[in-house]
Chain A
Amino acid sequence: MNDERTRFANVVLPHLGDAYALARWLARNDSDAEDIVQEACLRAFRGIAGFGDVNARAWLLSIVRNTAFTWLKKHRDPRLVAVENIELVEAAAPEQDGGPFAGPSSPEASLIERADAARLEAAIGALPEEFRETLVLRDLQGLDYRAIAEVTGVPIGTVMSRLARARRRLMAQLGKDTE
């Protein structure tokens, strides 16, 4: 067995579960997620010589998200896939979530905390891709801000604003009583 295969088994395979989980959140479909992971693993294998032994998990996840976005653009209606600069679009549109100054009287923490798992999962699924990706990497995969910035290729400030916007949308939605 050659060195690259050994390295692949060592660096990539232990994180296959995380790669699959992220692909599922991005694609929202199991069989697409499998295709994305397979293609990402092939890309990782071809690029294994360039991997610098720093953070294998973050490295693989960045390949998965890049593969996912390319894949989704190719296989799905491009209008459904994230626009390049979602921050600009968001900034132009009025805040849909009541904004940060919603105040203590609005969405109650206890209502959010008791939110039904299925409802929460659907709400996460409905987030714009960039927001969803950032939230999933932080809250479901436990990456720190620096690693998320590396994986998604944006500055830490952008990670922070995406995370804040993602969470605000979820909090606004879950904080509403289900009639």
Chain B
Amino acid sequence: MTQADDPFLLVHAYCDGELDPANALAFERRMAADPRLAAERDRIVALKRAMTRLKPAALPPAALRSRVEQAVGLRRRAGRPTWSALAASVGLAVILSTAATWSVLAPGRAGLVEDEVLGSHIRALMGAQPFDIASSDRHTVKPWFNGRIVQSPRVVDLAAEGFPLVGGRIDVIARIPVPSLVYRYQKHLISVTATQGLGAPPRGRAADGYHLIGWTDGGVSYWAVSDVGVHELEKFVQLFRNAPTDG
């Protein structure tokens, strides 16, 4: 048996979403016929679930960041970073990343919005917490937006699919406050920002290790941004779009 069709390797690729739909379908038939394969799949899924419960990776110590910045000459003075210096360096990184992506993005309003959406996600990751309200309950998150912004966003529950909701926040895009939902996938966060009247989002874009996938639904433009793999983000977007909403 060659490696390419060893079912006990393919079952991992199946669980990791690495098979294209035709191969995934063929593999599902194979699993249905072979209880050993189905059992292996169950164990892999169980292991992947167990791994989501590992405590989140420790943030790099602030001292490490400043050591690195000093080493490359981004920071001049040695010694303990003060809180204001730390905040300034975070601010600088955000400004730099925004300024630099700007030039490679398509001109026009959508490019600018895209840039601000990505910038908001990066900024959120650097904050104490990436959301203004922490809740995994969409019936808490959705009403939270009411009264703060004109239109509250579509909030769906994808916890069973491995993308639990963790909260929501308000971003300011093109000077307009807009809702962003925050979902988690393993150790990564996915921001979904909803905008209206700011132009259609691009279908897919990658910049600096982040992926952005956009779509339009019922007159609302959605922008999903994350540093997860593009396959995971596509899967998330597909699930988000297909999930039922109850208002």
Query: How long is the Cα–Cα vector from A20 to B210 in the complex, in angstroms?
Result: 18
Interface string of B196-214 (1 = CB under 8 A from A): 0000000000101110000
Query: How long is the Cα–Cα vector from A16 to B89 in the complex, in angstroms?
Result: 13
Main secondary structure on A side of the interface with B: helix
Query: How long is the Cα–Cα vector from A53 to B210 in the complex, in angstroms?
Result: 12
Query: How long is the Cα–Cα vector from A19 to B74 in the complex, in angstroms?
Result: 19
Please name all residues of chain A whose beta carbon is closer than 8 Å to the beta carbon of B67 when the two chains form the complex. Answer: 34, 38
A1-59 interface (Cβ within 8 A of B): 1, 5-11, 13-21, 24, 30, 34, 37-38, 41-42, 45, 53, 55-58
| A112 beta carbon closer than 8 Å to chain B | yes
* CB <8 Å contact, B208 and A56: yes
Please name all residues of chain A whose beta carbon is closer than 8 Å to the beta carbon of B38 when the two chains form the complex. Answer: 104
Query: How long is the Cα–Cα vector from A57 to B230 in the complex, in angstroms?
Result: 13
* CB <8 Å contact, B12 and A164: yes
Instruction: Indicate the size class of the contact surface on chain A.
Output: 35 or more
| Residue from the list B16, B36, B60 in contact with A16, Cβ < 8 A | B60
Q: Please list the residues of chain B having a beta carbon within 8 angstroms of any beta carbon in chain A.
A: 3-4, 8-9, 12-13, 16, 18, 35-36, 38-40, 42-51, 53-55, 57-61, 64-65, 67-69, 71-74, 92-93, 96-97, 100-101, 104, 122, 185-188, 206, 208-210, 227-232
Q: Please list the residues of chain A having a beta carbon within 8 angstroms of any beta carbon in chain B.
A: 1, 5-11, 13-21, 24, 30, 34, 37-38, 41-42, 45, 53, 55-58, 60, 100-101, 103-104, 107, 109-110, 112-115, 117, 120-121, 138-145, 147, 157, 160-161, 163-164, 167, 170-171, 174-175
26 A/B residue pairs, CB under 8 Å, sorted by A: A6-B100, A9-B74, A9-B93, A17-B57, A17-B60, A18-B227, A20-B57, A24-B58, A38-B64, A38-B67, A38-B68, A42-B72, A45-B71, A58-B209, A109-B42, A115-B50, A120-B54, A142-B188, A142-B228, A145-B13, A145-B16, A160-B13, A161-B9, A167-B47, A171-B46, A171-B47
